[in-house]
Chains A and B, each alone.
Chain A
């Protein structure tokens, strides 16, 4: 029994998005595709223990879901819901051409649908989590700190829009694909950024999405860069202490996951040489940090070069703040503060926790404890994470009085 459940679970994990992509492609109806697939999984759990796990579980699920979908199309309820008949019947037929023994992978088309320009950017990441990975709405709502009903409604609305406006389940030609990819990468990155240290499961989902996307695109450097970035960042998640926050430079590299580091580095190599985009540069930053596991030291000079390049390709408050921290290490606290000063006027900086944390750190190193104390307090107020807040207040308390 547990063997069957395990097989079903594995099939679910590996096949969910693949099957949804196939089931929804013809009609564009993700809700119906997901319902049909859920019913197929349910049937698997009652049938497989009796009759044994089929040789090709994925093909079995596809056939059952497809039949189920056809029943729904034919049912009176669906006819009443649809303005007028027939069209739906036709829409499902292309599925018949698919050989259940050789299930093709159309997840790239599905990812492109999720990040289509006609879909609200705020719902792209949740949509991917749900239709590609099968994460349920309540879980996604938790990650986004939204009431489950709100998230469920947004997802349903987006899916209805995909069906009704007929957003195509298709991979555009290379030239058009280039224009569409940044949104897809951004949505996958959004999943990673959302996970963060608080939610390692979500980072795991982001890693799966990023690696899947890179593999589907085969030769897209930025996609491999993103896969490397998320994988290398996940490798260090193991080094976290559950009880307290440890900044990166105080983590023990022996606690990092060596296999994941090797995997991430292999993705970065697959991204190849040539001018690097944002995700490859961010991945390279991660790789430099991970390299401490081998060399015992952090190559701050390399980090400075990478952050400078990152600021050219994709300027952001985060990269500028990080550069200031690196410059502070290399050239002293004054130089680091000089990098930060131009940001002081930026309205976004006043509410950006890392800005205040780095500033506090540099002020402390520059022998300005009173100002450092203020900056630490400000950073602590802005910190979402209790452990980060505790760490910042600890640092504040450790300042020399003066």
Chain B
């Protein structure tokens, strides 16, 4: 069963965090990803750039509207995702609890996948 862990946390500038905190954060993310990998459950991992660099596209009055900024302007922003393959929700929740962002005051949403595209076809989650 595939689950996507969506990390949300309050964004902070590199200056306000300081080099030491950023380094510690990177180390935590490295060992977390390594742990997922070693357990054989990691399918994909991505940390996103801050929402200041994001662009949102939608249809407005029949035309494409391209707008700078995130889809939703919230205090916590989507900051990255992990796609994992584990037997059930309990295992997924256990991994979610270890996402470093949780200890940074963030939240991790655990969303089961429905279908995913592979080898030329949509595959059901199982």
Contacts and interface: CB of A to CB of B under 8 A. Distances in A.
- Give the size range of A's interface with the partner: 10 to 19
A85 B1 CA distance: 15
Nearest to A176: B90
A156 interface: no
A100 interface: no
Interface of B: 1, 87-90, 93, 110, 112, 114-115, 122-126
Nearest to A112: B90
B90 A168 contact: yes
Given A83-B114, A83-B115, A90 B126 contact: yes
Given A165-B110, A166-B88, A166-B112, 19 more contacts: A82-B124, A83-B114, A83-B124, A84-B115, A84-B122, A84-B124, A87-B124, A116-B89, A165-B89, A165-B112, A166-B1, A166-B89, A167-B88, A167-B89, A167-B90, A168-B88, A168-B89, A170-B88, A170-B90
Interface of A: 82-87, 90-91, 116-118, 164-168, 170, 172
Given A166-B88, A168-B88, A86 B93 contact: no
B124 A86 contact: yes
B49 to A, nearest CB: 30
Scoring B88, B89, B114, B122 by chain A CB atoms within 10 A of each residue's CB, the highest score goes to: B89
A205 B123 CA distance: 43
B124 A118 contact: no
In the complex, the 7 A-B pairs of residues with the closest C-beta atoms, listed nearest first: A168-B88, A87-B126, A84-B124, A166-B88, A167-B89, A165-B89, A165-B112
Nearest to A164: B112
Contacts of B87: 166, 168
B88 A84 contact: no
A118 B89 contact: yes
A118 B97 CA distance: 13
Contacts of B89: 116, 118, 165-168
Contact of B93 (A84, A91, A118): A118
A316 B89 CA distance: 33
* Dominant secondary structure at the B interface: mixed
A83 B112 CA distance: 14
Nearest to A118: B89
B54 to A, nearest CB: 28
A85 B123 CA distance: 9
Contacts of B93: 117-118
A362 to B, nearest CB: 47
B58 to A, nearest CB: 26
A147 to B, nearest CB: 30
Contacts of B90: 167-168, 170, 172
* From A84, A91, A118, A167, residue with most partner B Cβ within 10 Å: A84
A291 B22 CA distance: 65
A168 B3 CA distance: 14
A82 B126 CA distance: 12
A164 B113 CA distance: 9
7 contacts: A83-B122, A84-B123, A166-B112, A167-B90, A168-B88, A170-B88, A172-B90
A30 to B, nearest CB: 15
A117 B90 CA distance: 10
A172 B124 CA distance: 27
A175 to B, nearest CB: 13
Nearest to B1: A166
Contacts of B1: 166
A167 B87 CA distance: 10
Nearest to A84: B124
Contacts of A83: 114-115, 122, 124
Contacts of A164: 112
A87 B1 CA distance: 11
Nearest to A180: B90
B40 to A, nearest CB: 18
A349 B112 CA distance: 43
A148 B53 CA distance: 49
A82 B123 CA distance: 12
A118 B112 CA distance: 13
Contacts of A116: 89
